[in-house]
Chains A and B, each alone.
Chain A
Amino acid sequence: MAEPMKIRATLQGDVADVRVLMAHPMETGQRKDAAGKLVPLHFIQTITAQLNGKTVFTADVSQAVSRNPVFAFKVKGAKAGDKLSITWQDNTGDKRTDEVVIRAGS
């Protein structure tokens, strides 16, 4: 099971600034391990963000995204206390969902 994501969602007006760090190797399929064996292709393919259960942002990505991917995006129509969840799924079918509560901006 993959490690939890780190998600931060902070309000700026009615837009939530979302920043997420995913723990994932994002293997390109050509890197060799210490024993000289190829590490198989292993990368996140799809990302979905939901605001209170409604999809608001999606992404399809390739293995060119850096290891332990970081993304930021801005969700419209958010309020402090709303729930924001993010799901990723990789090419092996592994997936993970984490949720945070949107915080008021400073």
Chain B
Amino acid sequence: MHHTRRSVLRGVWAVGALAAAVAAGLLSPGRAFAAWNKGAFEAKSAVDAMRALGMANAEDSKAIEIRAPEIAENGAVVPIDITSNIPGTTSISVFIEKNPFPYTGTFDFSQGSVPYVHLRVKIGESSPVRVVATAGGKHYTTVKEVKVTIGGCGG
């Protein structure tokens, strides 16, 4: 099993065909928890995903810190640290706008953790990384541009 960077990136790049495969019943997406928002995860744009999550009206905020490399040499593993300084933040959601399926995940802190998370993601080409923090039922957003120098797709 070869996991070359190129093939990993191609994977990220080409997942578009995936939705069709799912629709055709070739793949059965897991139903681990009812909460896993299939509609949002399969949305092809960050705007559609945010709408599916009820976050379309997020307002800009400077109180969300995104630490990520401005230039990522390896798009298969891009480290991101996110902290929300908005009081009462209950969750943080991440969208990589240029990925085929931008919605990357939601991290929920409401039951006993600090609104901070570190994760490592695949980014197919240079892309804005959008973060939405939810606090008191309202949504706040900020964005950071990440350049992928050696993209698998001419990035």
Contacts and interface: CB of A to CB of B under 8 A. Distances in A.
Interface of A: 15, 19, 25, 27-34, 40-41, 45-46, 49, 51, 54-67, 69-77, 89-93, 95
A62 B101 contact: yes
Contacts, number: 153
B15 A89 contact: no
A51 B10 contact: no
Interface residues of B, number: 49
A17 to B, nearest CB: 9
Contacts of B7: 31-32
Nearest to A30: B14
B106 A66 contact: no
Nearest to B12: A28
18 contacts: A30-B10, A30-B13, A34-B1, A41-B21, A45-B30, A57-B108, A59-B117, A60-B105, A64-B12, A65-B104, A65-B119, A69-B119, A70-B118, A71-B117, A75-B113, A76-B114, A92-B30, A93-B32
